[in-house]
Amino acid sequence: MRPLTYTTPKPLLAVAGKPTLEWILEAVRPHVDGVMLIVGHLRKKIEAHFGTQWNGIAVTYVHQVEQRGTGHALQMCRDALQGETRLFVIYGDNIPAPGDVARCAEHDLAALAVRVPDPEKYGIFKTDDAGYLIDLIEKPKTHVGNLANAGVYVFDQRIFEEIDNLKESERGEIELTDAVLSLAKRAPMKVVDVEEHWLPIGVRDDIAKAEPVLLGRPRGPEEFLAQRRQSLAGLLGMWWQSDNAAMKEQEREALLAFVNGASAAQLDRVTAVTLGEEKPVYLTTEEMIFALASQRGWQAPLADALRNLLKESV
């Protein structure tokens, strides 16, 4: 998602008019009495957006300072979740359908799974004849099935016991999937097939793919305007990464807020700008932002990338 995530945490990236995380919380809201968000990168923006209450549900936060894996992230919530008999655990970059979340909630322990055409890219569930989890294979090189882990779980307090017994994986992380498999060997865990939709929001193209599904219609003017805004926000992110001292933080945030909320008329508004010449040039607001962000030393690399892209498309 870079460069968008230089300025905006991934869970706040807009999809069909709402942050990814709002779609997730809407799906799980009927089944919970509180939400705990594990935050890290640009966490203050997430905390400012949701506050301590969202749509009548209490929201609390756990700050994962050191990125040691998904199991470690959940482990940090253990003390705050003492006494809770059941909990949903949902990754912040996948949008599940409300109906599929509801069907997971029917079971004491559950994991949502989606059937995929390319199982070698996912963690794949193996189930018994009754649909209960018996194995979980990460990115299998040989065919073991096509039920991919969709990152939606129903657990009880036993998940923390399993995490406590884990060793770090080869990449030095505490893996939640290891705890899932360990718990499934201890107690029946139902694998629930996706019947509606499961929308990963991991790369830029995923946004355009998800929007027609969530909207129930083709993308229209509002979605294309949102795409223009995101492109400008990404450009600003690149600029600020390359020269973070070019603007004060308050000015940067104000400009980003303008871009994220600008109307098409605001972006298309034409202004006369003098660029050291006798006659002014006439630029739209969008063009001014592009010109502003292009005044640093990364023009040459971008030009080379553009040339290569053009050669590939011939």
- Scanning the chain, the segments in alpha helix (DSSP H) are 20-28, 43-50, 70-75, 98-105, 158-164, 176-186, 204-215, 221-242, 249-261, 264-268, 285-293, 299-313
Q: pLDDT value at position 304?
A: 46
Predicted confidence band at 314 (pLDDT cuts at 50, 70, 90)?
very low
For 206-227, what is each residue's pLDDT tens digit? 888 999 999 888 888 888 999 8
What is the rounded distance in angstroms from the CA atom of residue 149 to the CA atom of residue 158? Answer: 20
Token couple for 148: 């991919």
pTM: 0.79
Q: Are 109 and 184 in contact (CB under 8 A)?
A: yes
> What is the 3-class SS of 188-235, one letter each residue?
CCEEEECCCCEEECCCHHHHHHHHHHHHCCCCCHHHHHHHHHHHHHHH
Q: 245-249: list long-range contacts, CB under 8 Å, 24+ apart.
A: 246/296
Q: Between the CA of residue 271 and those of 6, 121, 284, what are the distances in Å?
A: 28, 48, 6
Q: What residues are paired with 200 via a beta bridge?
A: 94
Of 20, 22, 16, 27, whose CA–CA distance to 5 is shortest?
A: 20
Residue of 57, 64, 49 lying closest to 26 (CA atoms): 57
Closest CA to 186 of 134, 149, 142: 134
Whole-number Å distance between alpha carbons of 286 and 154: 45
Taking residues 195-208, what's their average pLDDT?
89
* CA pair distance 239, 200, nearest whole angstrom: 27
Distance between CA atoms of residues 218 and 100, nearest Å: 23
Q: Which of 179, 174, 176, 178 is nearest to 162 (CA)?
A: 179
Tokens 């957006």 — which residue?
Answer: 49
At residue 19, the pLDDT reads: 93
As a whole number of angstroms, the distance between CA 124 and CA 181 comes to: 11
| Mean pLDDT value across residues 68-95 | 87
pLDDT at 301 over 50: no
> Residue 300 pLDDT > 80, yes or no?
no
Residue type (1 letter), 281: V
pLDDT at position 132 is 92
Domains of the chain: 4-214 (3.90.550.10), 220-313 (no CATH)
Q: pLDDT per residue over 34-53, tens digit each?
A: 999 998 888 899 999 998 99
Q: What is the pLDDT of residue 250?
A: 76
Q: Percent of the chain scored above 70 by pLDDT?
A: 90
